[in-house]
Structure 1
Protein backbone atom coordinates (compact mmCIF):
# COMPACT_ATOMS: atom_id res chain seq x y z
CA UNK A 1 0.00 0.00 0.00
CA UNK A 2 1.34 3.43 -0.93
CA UNK A 3 1.40 6.08 1.79
CA UNK A 4 -0.99 8.99 1.37
CA UNK A 5 0.43 12.46 0.81
CA UNK A 6 -1.39 13.99 3.76
CA UNK A 7 -0.58 16.36 6.60
CA UNK A 8 -2.17 17.77 9.72
CA UNK A 9 -3.79 21.09 8.83
CA UNK A 10 -5.64 22.12 11.98
CA UNK A 11 -6.87 20.96 15.32
CA UNK A 12 -9.63 22.41 17.48
CA UNK A 13 -9.47 23.53 21.11
CA UNK A 14 -12.46 24.92 23.00
CA UNK A 15 -12.41 28.34 24.60
CA UNK A 16 -14.56 29.75 27.39
CA UNK A 17 -13.38 33.35 26.95
CA UNK A 18 -12.29 34.17 23.40
CA UNK A 19 -10.37 37.30 24.39
CA UNK A 20 -8.39 35.47 27.09
CA UNK A 21 -7.62 32.59 24.72
CA UNK A 22 -6.61 35.00 21.98
CA UNK A 23 -4.28 36.82 24.39
CA UNK A 24 -2.69 33.51 25.44
CA UNK A 25 -2.08 32.10 21.97
CA UNK A 26 -1.22 35.40 20.26
CA UNK A 27 0.48 37.47 22.97
CA UNK A 28 2.04 34.80 25.19
CA UNK A 29 2.88 32.04 22.68
CA UNK A 30 3.44 34.45 19.79
CA UNK A 31 1.08 32.74 17.35
CA UNK A 32 -0.35 34.76 14.49
CA UNK A 33 -4.10 35.23 14.07
CA UNK A 34 -5.22 33.78 10.75
CA UNK A 35 -8.98 34.12 11.01
CA UNK A 36 -11.51 35.45 13.52
CA UNK A 37 -15.20 34.92 12.80
CA UNK A 38 -18.33 35.27 14.86
CA UNK A 39 -18.86 37.54 17.82
CA UNK A 40 -19.08 37.57 21.59
CA UNK A 41 -18.52 34.11 23.03
CA UNK A 42 -19.51 32.56 19.68
CA UNK A 43 -16.13 33.17 18.01
CA UNK A 44 -13.96 30.81 16.01
CA UNK A 45 -10.38 32.09 16.09
CA UNK A 46 -7.70 30.43 13.97
CA UNK A 47 -4.13 30.87 15.20
CA UNK A 48 -0.85 29.27 14.29
CA UNK A 49 2.90 29.53 14.59
CA UNK A 50 4.51 32.21 12.42
CA UNK A 51 6.21 30.74 9.39
CA UNK A 52 4.08 27.58 9.48
CA UNK A 53 0.97 28.50 7.47
CA UNK A 54 -0.06 24.87 7.02
CA UNK A 55 -0.59 24.21 10.74
CA UNK A 56 -3.33 25.90 12.78
CA UNK A 57 -5.35 25.71 15.96
CA UNK A 58 -9.00 26.73 15.78
CA UNK A 59 -10.21 28.08 19.12
CA UNK A 60 -13.94 27.49 19.24
CA UNK A 61 -16.89 27.80 21.61
CA UNK A 62 -17.44 24.47 23.38
CA UNK A 63 -20.50 22.25 22.96
CA UNK A 64 -22.48 24.47 20.59
CA UNK A 65 -23.78 21.57 18.51
CA UNK A 66 -27.59 21.53 18.87
CA UNK A 67 -27.47 17.74 19.32
CA UNK A 68 -25.52 17.99 22.58
CA UNK A 69 -27.64 17.24 25.65
CA UNK A 70 -27.53 19.28 28.86
CA UNK A 71 -25.82 16.35 30.62
CA UNK A 72 -23.17 16.13 27.90
CA UNK A 73 -22.64 19.90 28.05
CA UNK A 74 -22.23 19.71 31.84
CA UNK A 75 -19.67 16.88 31.56
CA UNK A 76 -17.64 18.74 28.92
CA UNK A 77 -17.64 21.92 31.01
CA UNK A 78 -16.56 19.97 34.11
CA UNK A 79 -13.77 18.27 32.17
CA UNK A 80 -12.59 21.59 30.73
CA UNK A 81 -12.49 23.10 34.23
CA UNK A 82 -10.28 20.20 35.40
CA UNK A 83 -8.06 20.36 32.32
CA UNK A 84 -8.94 16.85 31.21
CA UNK A 85 -11.03 17.59 28.11
CA UNK A 86 -8.49 18.68 25.49
CA UNK A 87 -4.73 18.79 25.08
CA UNK A 88 -2.19 19.89 22.53
CA UNK A 89 1.54 19.21 22.41
CA UNK A 90 3.82 21.92 21.04
CA UNK A 91 7.58 21.72 20.55
CA UNK A 92 10.53 24.10 20.78
CA UNK A 93 14.31 23.98 20.66
CA UNK A 94 14.48 26.37 23.66
CA UNK A 95 12.36 24.65 26.30
CA UNK A 96 13.80 26.60 29.22
CA UNK A 97 13.34 29.94 27.46
CA UNK A 98 9.75 29.08 26.58
CA UNK A 99 9.06 28.04 30.16
CA UNK A 100 10.54 31.27 31.55
CA UNK A 101 8.38 33.32 29.17
CA UNK A 102 5.22 31.48 30.23
CA UNK A 103 6.17 31.52 33.91
CA UNK A 104 6.63 35.30 33.83
CA UNK A 105 3.07 35.73 32.53
CA UNK A 106 -0.27 34.99 34.13
CA UNK A 107 -0.20 31.33 33.07
CA UNK A 108 -1.19 28.31 35.17
CA UNK A 109 1.89 26.10 35.42
CA UNK A 110 1.04 22.40 35.70
CA UNK A 111 4.55 20.95 35.47
CA UNK A 112 7.98 22.55 35.33
CA UNK A 113 10.53 21.31 32.76
CA UNK A 114 11.05 17.62 33.47
CA UNK A 115 13.06 14.81 31.91
CA UNK A 116 10.38 12.15 31.44
CA UNK A 117 11.23 8.44 31.83
CA UNK A 118 10.00 7.85 28.27
CA UNK A 119 12.73 10.06 26.78
CA UNK A 120 11.02 13.43 26.40
CA UNK A 121 11.88 16.64 28.23
CA UNK A 122 8.79 18.81 28.57
CA UNK A 123 6.63 21.09 30.69
CA UNK A 124 2.90 21.66 30.93
CA UNK A 125 0.59 24.64 31.38
CA UNK A 126 -3.12 25.26 31.01
CA UNK A 127 -4.57 27.80 28.63
CA UNK A 128 -7.33 30.14 29.88
CA UNK A 129 -10.03 27.55 29.04
CA UNK A 130 -8.26 24.82 31.02
CA UNK A 131 -6.88 22.97 27.99
CA UNK A 132 -3.61 21.19 28.73
CA UNK A 133 -0.72 22.60 26.70
CA UNK A 134 2.42 20.46 26.85
CA UNK A 135 5.64 21.73 25.33
CA UNK A 136 8.32 19.23 24.28
CA UNK A 137 11.97 20.02 23.73
CA UNK A 138 13.16 19.39 20.17
CA UNK A 139 16.44 17.50 20.35
Structure 2
Protein backbone atom coordinates (compact mmCIF):
# COMPACT_ATOMS: atom_id res chain seq x y z
CA UNK A 1 0.00 0.00 0.00
CA UNK A 2 1.31 3.44 -0.87
CA UNK A 3 0.12 6.79 0.46
CA UNK A 4 1.27 9.84 -1.48
CA UNK A 5 -0.25 12.39 0.91
CA UNK A 6 2.16 15.13 1.97
CA UNK A 7 3.68 14.23 5.31
CA UNK A 8 4.36 17.02 7.76
CA UNK A 9 5.70 17.15 11.28
CA UNK A 10 8.29 14.93 12.90
CA UNK A 11 8.48 11.29 11.86
CA UNK A 12 10.73 9.43 14.33
CA UNK A 13 12.66 6.39 13.19
CA UNK A 14 11.97 3.38 15.43
CA UNK A 15 14.45 0.48 15.04
CA UNK A 16 13.28 -3.11 14.59
CA UNK A 17 15.36 -6.21 13.90
CA UNK A 18 12.17 -7.93 12.72
CA UNK A 19 10.35 -5.18 10.83
CA UNK A 20 7.36 -7.35 9.90
CA UNK A 21 6.78 -8.32 13.53
CA UNK A 22 7.24 -4.68 14.57
CA UNK A 23 4.58 -3.51 12.13
CA UNK A 24 2.17 -6.24 13.26
CA UNK A 25 2.68 -5.32 16.92
CA UNK A 26 2.33 -1.56 16.40
CA UNK A 27 -0.90 -1.93 14.41
CA UNK A 28 -2.41 -4.47 16.81
CA UNK A 29 -1.26 -3.03 20.14
CA UNK A 30 -1.45 0.70 19.50
CA UNK A 31 -3.63 1.20 16.43
CA UNK A 32 -1.06 2.57 13.98
CA UNK A 33 -2.02 2.04 10.33
CA UNK A 34 0.24 1.17 7.44
CA UNK A 35 0.80 4.13 5.13
CA UNK A 36 3.62 2.69 3.02
CA UNK A 37 5.55 -0.56 3.13
CA UNK A 38 8.12 -1.10 0.38
CA UNK A 39 9.85 -4.45 -0.09
CA UNK A 40 13.20 -4.99 -1.79
CA UNK A 41 14.16 -7.80 -4.15
CA UNK A 42 14.68 -10.27 -1.27
CA UNK A 43 11.27 -9.31 0.26
CA UNK A 44 13.08 -7.42 3.04
CA UNK A 45 11.27 -4.25 4.07
CA UNK A 46 13.37 -1.32 2.81
CA UNK A 47 10.95 1.44 3.82
CA UNK A 48 7.89 1.53 6.09
CA UNK A 49 5.70 4.35 7.35
CA UNK A 50 2.96 3.92 9.92
CA UNK A 51 0.37 6.61 10.60
CA UNK A 52 -0.96 7.61 14.00
CA UNK A 53 -4.77 8.07 13.80
CA UNK A 54 -4.55 11.56 15.39
CA UNK A 55 -1.88 12.80 12.96
CA UNK A 56 1.77 12.21 12.21
CA UNK A 57 3.44 8.85 12.30
CA UNK A 58 6.65 6.89 12.49
CA UNK A 59 9.10 5.24 10.16
CA UNK A 60 10.34 1.72 10.81
CA UNK A 61 14.11 1.77 11.09
CA UNK A 62 16.82 -0.82 10.97
CA UNK A 63 19.30 -2.23 13.44
CA UNK A 64 21.71 -3.19 10.61
CA UNK A 65 25.04 -1.69 11.67
CA UNK A 66 26.02 -1.17 8.01
CA UNK A 67 23.22 1.40 7.62
CA UNK A 68 24.17 4.98 8.63
CA UNK A 69 20.66 5.51 10.06
CA UNK A 70 20.67 2.34 12.15
CA UNK A 71 19.99 2.48 15.88
CA UNK A 72 20.49 -0.20 18.52
CA UNK A 73 17.57 -2.54 19.09
CA UNK A 74 15.21 -1.18 21.74
CA UNK A 75 16.78 2.31 21.75
CA UNK A 76 13.66 4.33 20.89
CA UNK A 77 11.62 6.22 23.47
CA UNK A 78 8.49 7.98 22.25
CA UNK A 79 5.58 9.96 23.69
CA UNK A 80 2.37 9.79 21.68
CA UNK A 81 -0.72 11.90 22.39
CA UNK A 82 -4.03 10.05 22.64
CA UNK A 83 -7.48 11.04 23.80
CA UNK A 84 -8.16 7.56 25.25
CA UNK A 85 -5.18 6.44 27.35
CA UNK A 86 -7.25 3.95 29.36
CA UNK A 87 -8.59 2.16 26.30
CA UNK A 88 -5.20 2.20 24.59
CA UNK A 89 -3.53 0.86 27.75
CA UNK A 90 -5.93 -2.12 27.81
CA UNK A 91 -5.35 -2.74 24.10
CA UNK A 92 -1.54 -2.57 24.45
CA UNK A 93 -1.45 -4.92 27.44
CA UNK A 94 -3.78 -7.39 25.71
CA UNK A 95 -1.38 -7.41 22.72
CA UNK A 96 1.59 -8.25 24.97
CA UNK A 97 3.19 -4.88 25.69
CA UNK A 98 5.34 -4.95 28.84
CA UNK A 99 4.10 -2.40 31.36
CA UNK A 100 6.69 0.17 32.45
CA UNK A 101 4.22 2.52 34.16
CA UNK A 102 0.52 1.85 34.81
CA UNK A 103 -2.04 4.30 33.46
CA UNK A 104 -2.39 7.18 35.94
CA UNK A 105 -2.95 10.89 36.30
CA UNK A 106 0.17 13.07 36.53
CA UNK A 107 0.88 16.18 38.61
CA UNK A 108 0.91 18.24 35.39
CA UNK A 109 -2.61 17.21 34.35
CA UNK A 110 -1.99 14.43 31.84
CA UNK A 111 -3.33 10.88 32.04
CA UNK A 112 -0.72 8.52 30.68
CA UNK A 113 1.11 5.19 30.77
CA UNK A 114 4.31 3.65 29.43
CA UNK A 115 5.01 0.22 27.92
CA UNK A 116 7.79 -1.58 26.02
CA UNK A 117 7.28 -3.32 22.71
CA UNK A 118 8.73 -6.82 22.09
CA UNK A 119 12.06 -5.33 20.91
CA UNK A 120 12.44 -3.09 23.97
CA UNK A 121 11.42 0.32 22.59
CA UNK A 122 9.62 2.41 25.22
CA UNK A 123 6.25 3.89 24.28
CA UNK A 124 4.49 6.47 26.46
CA UNK A 125 0.91 7.46 25.64
CA UNK A 126 -1.11 10.19 27.28
CA UNK A 127 -3.39 13.16 26.99
CA UNK A 128 -0.40 15.51 27.43
CA UNK A 129 -1.80 18.48 29.24
CA UNK A 130 1.56 20.25 29.35
CA UNK A 131 1.78 24.01 29.22
Measured against the shorter chain, the TM-score band is 0.7 to 0.9
Q: Kindly state the Cα deviation for residue 67 of structure 1 after the two structures are TM-superposed.
A: 6.0
**In the alignment, which residue of structure 2 is the partner of 1:20?**
21
Greater gyration radius: 1
The runs of 5 or more residues in structure 2 that have no matched partner are 1-7
Query: Aligned equivalents of 2:110 and 2:53: distance in 1?
Result: 24
Instruction: Give the aligned partner of residue 30 of structure 1.
Output: 31
TM-score with structure 1 length normalisation? 0.70
Deviation, 1:135, is: 0.4
Structure 1: segments with no counterpart, 5+ residues = 1-6
What does 1:1-139 correspond to in 2, within 5 Å? 8-39=9-40, 43-50=46-53, 52=55, 55-65=56-66, 76-77=72-73, 80=74, 85-137=75-127
On the 8 A contact 1:47/1:57 being kept in 2, the answer is yes
Distance change >3 Å, CA 136–CA 67, structure 1 → 2? closer
CA apart distance, 1:96: 1.0
Partners of 1:119 and 1:50 in 2: how far apart?
A: 23
> Secondary structure in 2 aligned to 1:93?
coil
- Partners of 2:29 and 2:94 within 8 A in 1: no
When residues 125 and 41 of structure 1 are mapped into structure 2, their CA distance, relative to the original with a 3 A threshold, is: farther
Q: What TM-score does the superposition give when structure 2 sets the normalisation length?
A: 0.74
CA–CA distance in structure 2, aligned partners of residues 128 and 29 of structure 1 = 13
Deviation digits for residues 102-125 of structure 1 (CA, Å, limit 9, x no counterpart):
122221111111223344321001
Higher helix share: 1
Cα distance in 2 between the residues matched to 1:94 and 1:41? 34
Q: Which runs of 4+ in 1 moved over 4 A?
A: 39-42, 65-68
